Amino acid sequence: MIIKSANLETVCGVASVLPINDKPEIAFAGKSNVGKSSLINALLNRKSLARTSAQPGKTQTINFYNINDQFYYVDLPGYGYAKVSEAIKAKWGKMIEKYLRTSKQLKAIFLLIDIRHEPSGNDKSMYDWIVHQGFQPIIIATKLDKINRSQKDKQLKIIREGLEVTADTKIFPFSALTKQGREEIWDYIETICNL
């Protein structure tokens, strides 16, 4: 995939009207700090198009990145961020759910899970919800560079078992630091978006 252009086209907060796009959308969901924005930057070979932070809770809006005028990457706020009030968490949750439920162009929801950790209850709920909505679930196991190579298979098994994934669920190990897994993810996206 040759990236000719990548622009943040639409930013939606809780009070915003969601855009009606006419090109495929690919969304990235997962816990705060799991690496959603970093993944988008790595896929696009851009250092800081999507804003990232070591502090969880960086992305607080739904951000639509227009790629080559061909499709969109959609960066979502993370769940499970402790520092905001329950009321705000509920509003974000509703906003994310509304987008994922109503978008006519959403082709895939990638669920990101930190490869070092067992999936949380929120991760499991998100996985089940993706399946329930009729999407083929795809997992990205992030921060691959933070474990030894020898631990990889064991950690992937913990994720599979924690989420109780179906046998055909794809799981891509990925590192935003080393870019390992980037090509495999791109190939998959090109296939589902017919690029």
Q: Which residues of this protein are in contact with Mg ion, per CB under 5 A?
A: 36-37, 58-59
103 binds, among Mg ion, ligand GTP, none (CB under 5 to 8 A by kind): none
Residues 6+ apart with CB under 8 A from 53: none
Stretch that binds ligand GTP, among 83-91, 149-157, 164-172, 173-181 (CB under 6 A): 173-181
Binding of ligand GTP by 107 (CB under 6 A): no
Q: Give how far the C-alpha of residue 195 lies from the chain's centroid of Cα atoms, to the nearest Å.
A: 19
| Angstrom distances, CA of residue 58 to CA of 28, 40, 81, 159, 184 | 14, 14, 10, 25, 27
What mask, x for binding ligand GTP by CB under 6 A, covers residues 124 to 153?
Answer: ------------------xx-xx-------
Element at 112 (helix H, strand E):
strand 106-114
Quick one: CA dihedral 179, 183, 184, 188, positive or negative? positive
Stretch that binds ligand GTP, among 4-12, 33-41, 158-166, 183-191 (CB under 6 A): 33-41
161 binds, among Mg ion, ligand GTP, none (CB under 5 to 8 A by kind): none
Of 10, 32, 63, 169, the residue at the interface with ligand GTP (CB under 6 A) is 32
Element at 71 (helix H, strand E):
strand 71-75
Distance CA 66, CA 42 (A): 15
77 binds, among Mg ion, ligand GTP, none (CB under 5 to 8 A by kind): ligand GTP
What distance separates the 2 farthest-apart alpha carbons in the chain?
47
Binding of ligand GTP by 102 (CB under 6 A): no
Binding of ligand GTP by 36 (CB under 6 A): yes
Residue among 46 and 166 whose Cβ is closer to ligand GTP: 46
Distance CA 145, CA 141 (A): 11
Give 109's strand partners.
27
Binding of ligand GTP by 103 (CB under 6 A): no
| Angstrom distances, CA of residue 162 to CA of 59, 81, 166 | 26, 20, 12
Q: Which of residues 61-80 bind ligand GTP (CB under 6 A)?
A: 77-78
Residues that bind ligand GTP (CB under 6 A): 30, 32-38, 52-54, 56-59, 77-78, 142-143, 145-146, 175-177
